[in-house]
């Protein structure tokens, strides 16, 4: 059984880890100089931009370098202190704003550079001077005989002329060196707060996003359970209304054929033929029910071929356009297939359309990659995503995997339904591993 660390061992571990914080503060002297150079370039570029307009040649690269410097500072803070900061993400801004380097992320990076130029030079200089003097005093016995007649001045100010002063300074240096890692952990809290407030996500915004995420997952879970229960009832109803009735009729025909076999062979043969025909029809119905659970063409050939098969069976002429869609994971393919199937059914039943188009596109540049499904018809429009069970069931299917569904259906048409599903690649089977 592992034993709990003793307080002494825990304090020693914190002391040893504190030297990483000391190293971080010493490096603040270098990063402070870099930040000072960046903020000077930004200020000069802004002044020249207002004065002559040529400052953009200095301001634009300085803002981008400040942004890169801020990214590096987040990584340095996490590497030396272990404190993870979620970078701030600029959303809802035009692309040209980011290209010019004046987005909120670039402005935050410039503000951080200005503050870090002051704080970094201050802490880096003090900690470096303190550490250098402590090490010099601790090594004093090694070079005491070579000290010049002017003596030693602590921090360049306090003179050490007597042996007692040297011993006292040596003891103080030892104490300071022992306490420095523990004090450095507290000082780096200021660096953490600067990075978090200027370069990281707003904590209240993160809490709001997490709360919204929890509500979405709760709603999605409820809708998924309802969808599964509805699917179970549908399968039960299909089996009850279709194959079960035929099997009961087959059993009755076989029973009557057995009773007539001795005294009415011709009548028994007719009943057997009827039962044989009914069994074939029951097999066909069972195949249709099974196709509603897991279409064989979807499992064997993928979403492209399965959607093409749906289009071929549709009562309304359907054009299928596929771009870059390979085999995906079975869940994504199944949800995409049933979404297209339900939408084409709605087109045939309600839209009065003369033709429809199904577009499948895989957007690999998104994070994570997304499967985009678009179904468009030239019908009468007026589809309400809040009414009926078809679109509600679709929304339940889509949101169960963090997808989105958008419906554009003005009165008079056309109707366009756009579904976006997170796309994961198909799992690799053992036969594909070489």
pLDDT of 175 over the 80 cut: yes
According to the model, what pLDDT value does residue 17 have?
86
Question: Residue 2 falls within a domain, yes or no?
Answer: no
pLDDT of 153 over the 80 cut: no
Lowest mean pLDDT, pick from 121-135, 199-213, 295-309: 199-213
pLDDT of 217 over the 90 cut: no
Chain centroid, CA 25 distance in Å: 33
Co-location of 131 and 268 in the same domain: no
Question: Residue 433 falls within a domain, yes or no?
Answer: no
Across 141-145, 150-154, 317-321, the highest mean pLDDT is recorded for 317-321
Q: How many residues does the chain have?
A: 434
Last residue of a domain, one of 246, 268, 293: 293
Using CA of residue 38, residue 42, residue 48, residue 54, what is the dihedral sign?
positive
- Tell me if the bond preceding 368 is cis, omega within 30° of 0: yes
Question: Residue 145 falls within a domain, yes or no?
Answer: yes
Co-location of 61 and 98 in the same domain: yes
Q: Please, what is the average pLDDT of the chain?
A: 79
Query: Residues 373, 374, 375, 376: what is their CA dihedral angle, to the nearest 10 degrees?
Result: -170
Last residue of a domain, one of 150, 171, 198: 198
Domain tally, the chain? 3
According to the model, what pLDDT value does residue 292 have?
59
Co-location of 23 and 136 in the same domain: yes
According to the model, what pLDDT value does residue 72 have?
92
Last residue of a domain, one of 293, 328, 359: 293
Give the residue, 187 or 14, on which the prediction is more confident.
187
Question: Residue 431 falls within a domain, yes or no?
Answer: no
| Both structure tokens of 294 | 């897991």
Co-location of 19 and 154 in the same domain: yes
Lowest mean pLDDT, pick from 84-88, 155-159, 279-283: 155-159
Co-location of 191 and 106 in the same domain: yes
E strands within 252-324? Answer: 318-323
According to the model, what pLDDT value does residue 15 have?
83
pLDDT of 430 over the 50 cut: no
Lowest mean pLDDT, pick from 29-43, 263-277, 328-342, 386-400: 386-400
According to the model, what pLDDT value does residue 32 have?
92
Co-location of 192 and 79 in the same domain: yes
Co-location of 184 and 39 in the same domain: yes
**Helix and strand numbers, DSSP H then E, in the chain:** 13, 7
| Both structure tokens of 348 | 């045939």
According to the model, what pLDDT value does residue 158 have?
62
Give the residue, 189 or 98, on which the prediction is more confident.
189
Average pLDDT over residues 408-433: 75
Question: Residue 313 falls within a domain, yes or no?
Answer: yes
Co-location of 270 and 332 in the same domain: no
According to the model, what pLDDT value does residue 201 have?
74
108-121 pLDDT, tens digit each: 899 999 999 999 99
Co-location of 60 and 164 in the same domain: yes
Decide: helix, strand or coil at residue 3: coil
According to the model, what pLDDT value does residue 91 have?
64
Co-location of 411 and 279 in the same domain: no
Q: What percent of the chain has pLDDT over 90?
A: 15
Average pLDDT over residues 232-255: 70
Co-location of 419 and 361 in the same domain: yes
Co-location of 16 and 84 in the same domain: yes
Confidence grade of residue 208 (pLDDT, cut at 50, 70, 90) = confident
The number of beta carbons lying within 10 Å of the beta carbon of residue 424 is: 15
Which domain covers residue 50, as residue numbers? 7-198
According to the model, what pLDDT value does residue 433 have?
37
Question: Residue 434 falls within a domain, yes or no?
Answer: no
Q: State the DSSP H helix or E strand holding residue 68, giving kind and residue range, or none if neither.
A: helix 56-81
């Amino acid at each position: 059984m592992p034993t709990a660390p003793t307080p002494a061992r825990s304090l020693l571990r914190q002391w040893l880890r504190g030297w990483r914080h000391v190293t971080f503060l010493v490096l603040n002297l270098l990063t402070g100089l870099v930040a000072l150079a960046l903020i000077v370039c930004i200020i000069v570029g802004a002044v020249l931009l207002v004065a002559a307009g040529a400052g953009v040649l200095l301001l634009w690269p300085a803002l981008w370098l400040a942004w890169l410097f801020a990214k590096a500072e987040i990584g340095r803070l996490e590497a030396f202190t272990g404190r993870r900061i979620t970078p701030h993400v600029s959303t809802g801004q035009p692309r040209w704003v980011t290209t010019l380097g004046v987005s909120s992320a670039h402005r935050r990076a410039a503000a951080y550079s200005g503050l870090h130029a002051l704080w970094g030079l201050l802490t880096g200089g003090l900690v470096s001077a303190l550490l250098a003097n402590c090490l010099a005093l601790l090594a004093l016995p090694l070079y005491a005989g070579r000290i010049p007649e002017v003596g030693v001045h602590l921090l360049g100010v306090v003179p050490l002329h007597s042996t007692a002063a040297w011993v006292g300074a040596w003891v103080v240096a030892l104490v300071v060196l022992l306490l420095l890692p523990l004090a450095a952990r507290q000082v780096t809290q200021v660096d953490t707060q600067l990075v978090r407030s200027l370069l990281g996500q707003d904590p209240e915004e993160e809490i709001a996003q997490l709360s919204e995420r929890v509500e979405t997952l709760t709603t999605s879970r409820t809708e998924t359970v309802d969808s599964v229960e509805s699917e179970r009832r549908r399968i039960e109803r299909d089996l009850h209304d279709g194959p079960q009735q035929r099997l009961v009729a087959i059993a009755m025909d076989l029973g009557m054929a057995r009773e007539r076999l001795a005294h009415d062979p011709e009548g028994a043969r007719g009943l057997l033929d009827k039962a044989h025909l009914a069994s074939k029809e029951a097999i066909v119905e069972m195949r249709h029910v099974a196709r509603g659970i897991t279409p064989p063409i979807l499992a064997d050939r993928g979403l492209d071929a399965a959607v093409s098969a749906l289009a071929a069976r549709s009562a309304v002429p359907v054009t299928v356009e596929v771009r870059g869609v390979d085999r995906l994971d079975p869940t994504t393919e199944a949800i995409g297939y049933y979404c297209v199937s339900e939408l084409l059914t709605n087109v045939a039943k309600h839209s009065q359309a003369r033709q429809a188009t199904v577009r499948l596109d895989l957007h690999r540049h998104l994070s994570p990659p997304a499967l985009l499904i678009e179904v468009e018809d030239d019908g009468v429009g007026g589809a309400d995503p809040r009414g009926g069970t078809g679109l509600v069931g679709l929304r339940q299917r889509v949101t169960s995997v963090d997808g989105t569904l958008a419906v554009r259906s003005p009165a008079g048409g056309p109707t366009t339904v756009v579904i976006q599903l997170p796309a994961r690649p198909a799992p690799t089977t053992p036969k594909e591993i070489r």
